[in-house]
Amino acid sequence: MGSIVAIIGRPNVGKSTLFNRITETRDAIVNETAGVTRDRHYGKGEWTGREFTIIDTGGYITGSDDVFEEEIRNQVKVAIEEADILLFVVDVVIGVTDLDEDVAHIIRKSGKKTFVVVNKVDNNERISEAGVFYSLGLGELYCLSSINGSGTGELLDDLVKVLPEDVEPDVELDIPKIAIVGRPNVGKSSFVNALLGRDRNIVTNIAGTTRDTIHTRYQAFGHDFYLVDTAGLRKKGKVRDDVEFYSVMRTVRAIESCDVCVLMLDAQDGIEAQDINIMWLAIRNNRGLVILINKWDLIEKDTQTMKKYEELILERISPFKDVPILFTSTVSKQRLLKAVEASIEVFENRKRNIPTHKLNEVLLPIIEASPPPTVKGKYLKIKYITQLKTHYPAFAFFCNLPQYFRDDYKRFLENKIRENFDFKGVPITIFFRQK
């Protein structure tokens, strides 16, 4: 399961610039998903082969000045509770402020691993000015300029050294771990309660998993799986509930610790930017995906409503369109078991392994009939294909010139894999390798 790094600090110290610096480097190099909307607040970072989820708390402060500082303190408390590592950003030009000292005090009491990032250090004179931040009592300072990127490398070198080892939760059984995620008030809790509420004794809580996410085991109607806590199954900390940031932290945690992510939307609101971000995070983490349109009982319908709605959703989530979409109502308990069944199917699809001979038998003739376009007069040839031994579907296409294969051909291959083998609801990764 991945680690979560949170960027904290008061406003205007350059948190978002640092966030962009850390995530963009990855997006530019590693990101294989075409058309990913760059998210303002959370994304994937990668350095020397270690991946982590990074969250910029800057986007979550609202309210007037008097609640402002209280809100920042709240946020720091949430970050301490939920993140593995904190990046505490301060501004060398302004120096140490009262709010910086407050934040430092909260961090010191928590003992959470923290890097003090002194931003806007873009000349030698400022390096000596940075020394005042030692007074915060949080150890080593990392001087950098997130605008031009100097100093970021040293910070990331030391950051990845202290990332917790990737551990799968110590939940023993190989049964699906399903997370119900979505924006607040779309009906997640009602969904979970409708599933669990029938008969409380079919539910056992397994606490003490490595990351403190609670897995609730569900055994009924012939199903057996873990529900990963996001809908308030775990008792809330001291933090005010309405901090949007809090629900985002929970969502990220849940995605990191599940096999299948059930994204719940409100039929009346349709799909919003936040939903798309949650969805991309699930896809980037190679989790299975099921989309539920809840509160369907409140929509005026004719024969075409469902089809139109589905088309609208698929258009928004393109190019990843091979995903189950279900219309539910937690109030009338409509299609709730269908949703569970779809999630289990997606779990099975994610484990699906296609024998090498079968892959080549099916795909090589298709490739021969529609070969990749020539590049600079060179013919591209795919010799054979194999599925890699990863915990999600990934395929290696062995070929003569891997660097020349374009994204559109990669999408063509992915579509052919999907047409011939059932990977509904599951992201597929394709690599081109030198024969």
C-alpha to C-alpha distance for 177 and 166, rounded to whole angstroms: 17
- pLDDT given at position 313: 87
- Residues sharing a CB contact under 8 Å with residue 363, sequence separation 6 or more, in sequence order: 385, 413, 416, 417, 420
Pairing of strands 394-399, 382-387: antiparallel
- pLDDT given at position 239: 44
pLDDT tens series, the chain, 435 aa = 568 898 988 888 888 888 888 887 443 333 333 333 344 577 778 888 888 888 887 655 555 555 667 777 777 887 887 788 999 999 999 999 988 998 999 999 988 899 999 999 988 888 888 999 999 999 899 999 888 888 899 999 999 999 887 655 454 567 899 998 887 778 887 787 777 765 443 444 444 333 345 677 788 778 888 888 665 444 444 444 445 666 777 788 788 889 999 999 988 888 887 788 888 888 888 999 999 999 888 888 777 888 888 888 888 888 888 999 999 887 777 788 899 999 999 999 999 999 999 999 999 999 999 999 988 888 999 999 999 998 899 999 999 999 989 888 999 999 999 999 999 999 999 999 987
pTM over 0.75: no
- pLDDT given at position 30: 32
Kind and range of the H or E element at 216?
strand 215-220
C-alpha to C-alpha distance for 205 and 22, rounded to whole angstroms: 37
CB 353 within 8 A of CB 389: no
Amino acid at 404: Y
- pLDDT given at position 254: 84
Tally the residues of the chain: 435
Q: Is the dihedral of CA 47, 398, 374, 34 positive or negative?
A: negative
In terms of Cα–Cα distance, which of 43, 17, 49 is closest to 150?
17
Cα distance from N-terminal residue to C-terminal residue, the chain: 32
CB 194 within 8 A of CB 147: no
- pLDDT given at position 15: 85
- pLDDT given at position 66: 58
- pLDDT given at position 202: 42
3-class secondary structure, 159: helix
